Amino acid sequence: MKFSAAWIFWGLFFSLAAVAVDESYDCPGHLTLKRRTLLANYSPLGQGGVPVAFIDVDKTLVVSTQGHSVPSEPGDITWLPGTVPVLSRLNEENIFLALVSNQKDTPVFPSWENTDAVLLRVVEHFQQMGVKIHWFDFAGGGEQNARDRKPNPGMGLRLERFLQITYARPLDRSRSFMVGDYADKDLDGSDSDLGFARAFGIGFRDPSAFFGWSAQGVRRFGKPFFR
């Protein structure tokens, strides 16, 4: 009995330590950011794994009102159409909603704090519209964050560990998918959202079809070759 209790203790200790170590390698430790924290209640159904909708942010949910490649601060956000009813439906299906954003110019533009504040504002906006977004993550610039930047699967792997620790459930990749505007190198300037879906072994949804833009003759919003 003592033996198994010790194993549980050290197992938990090393799981938590692994997450803590994982958090320490990019932004300065004195900053308290909201990314990588649970932002809305979630209860897994039944006994299975957790299905996750990974959702890109820039040019998928928002664009910068001032015309930057990404919003510079929470007041610089223009909301793209068609998103609220679709994300509401995902809530009804008990799919965990996770924003995953490449921010390759952070902390040069915007700062760590402003990048976090913009993404938190996105979560709060949807909350005001009745949509629960459970999590957001972003990958900053520099070599030290490369493994987290899409198309690499780092942000998916981190959430998978979080779900395992929090709910003792795996992430159900067969029912999970990525929604993002970077689907085609030639047309979009990058295919990093599609690449993330492939690297992580989940499905891919193009926002133009997913949010109903293509029915209105729109493929993308924002400047196509901003990266």
Write down the least CB distance from residue 55 to Mg ion, Å.
10
Write down the least CB distance from residue 192 to Mg ion, Å.
8
In the structure, how many helices (H) and strands (E) does the chain have?
A: 7, 7
Write down the least CB distance from residue 156 to Mg ion, Å.
16
* Closest of 180, 186, 227, 184 to residue 208, by C-alpha: 180
Tell me the C-alpha distance between 104 and 87, whole Å.
26
Q: Judged by CB, which is closer to Mg ion: 80, or 163?
A: 80
Q: Judged by CB, which is closer to Mg ion: 60, or 115?
A: 60
Helix axis angle for 154-167 and 2-23, nearest 10°, is: 150
* Closest of 55, 58, 56, 105 to residue 223, by C-alpha: 58
Give contact residues for Mg ion (rule: CB under 5 A): 56, 58-60, 181
Write down the least CB distance from residue 106 to Mg ion, Å.
14
Q: Judged by CB, which is closer to Mg ion: 181, or 191?
A: 181
Q: Judged by CB, which is closer to Mg ion: 56, or 76?
A: 56
Tell me the C-alpha distance between 76 and 70, whole Å.
9
